């Protein structure tokens, strides 16, 4: 799955600064638990920080 950043934040694990509209993670992979934390309000900011990007394929 692909993810997009909803609000600016600094990743507590990598110290990378993410800006609204960036892709998450910047590179590589991350743990499912971390993804779940950022998708929910169960993080330090108490709000979802990323969202799932739906893959939309155009009909040809």
* Paired strand residues for 51: 4
Instruction: Give domain status of residue 60, yes or no.
Output: no
Complete edge-to-edge strand list for the sheet that includes strand 23-24: 23-24, 2-5, 50-53
pLDDT value at 6 more than 70: yes
Instruction: Give domain status of residue 43, yes or no.
Output: yes
pLDDT value at 8 more than 80: yes
Question: Residues 17-60: pLDDT tens digits?
Answer: 999 999 999 888 889 999 999 999 999 999 999 999 986 665 54
Range of the domain at 14: 2-53
Instruction: Give domain status of residue 25, yes or no.
Output: yes
Instruction: Give domain status of residue 29, yes or no.
Output: yes
Instruction: Give domain status of residue 37, yes or no.
Output: yes
Phi then psi dihedrals of residue 24, to 5 deg = -125, 135
Instruction: Give domain status of residue 13, yes or no.
Output: yes
Total count of domains within the chain: 1
Instruction: Give domain status of residue 26, yes or no.
Output: yes
Instruction: Give domain status of residue 59, yes or no.
Output: no
Can you give the pTM of this predicted structure?
Answer: 0.83
């Amino acid at each position: 799955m692909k993810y997009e950043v909803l609000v600016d934040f600094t990743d507590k694990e990598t110290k990378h600064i993410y800006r609204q509209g960036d892709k998450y993670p910047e590179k590589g992979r991350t743990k499912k638990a971390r993804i779940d934390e950022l998708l929910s309000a169960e993080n330090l900011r108490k709000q979802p920080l990323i969202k799932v990007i739906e893959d939309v394929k155009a009909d040809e």
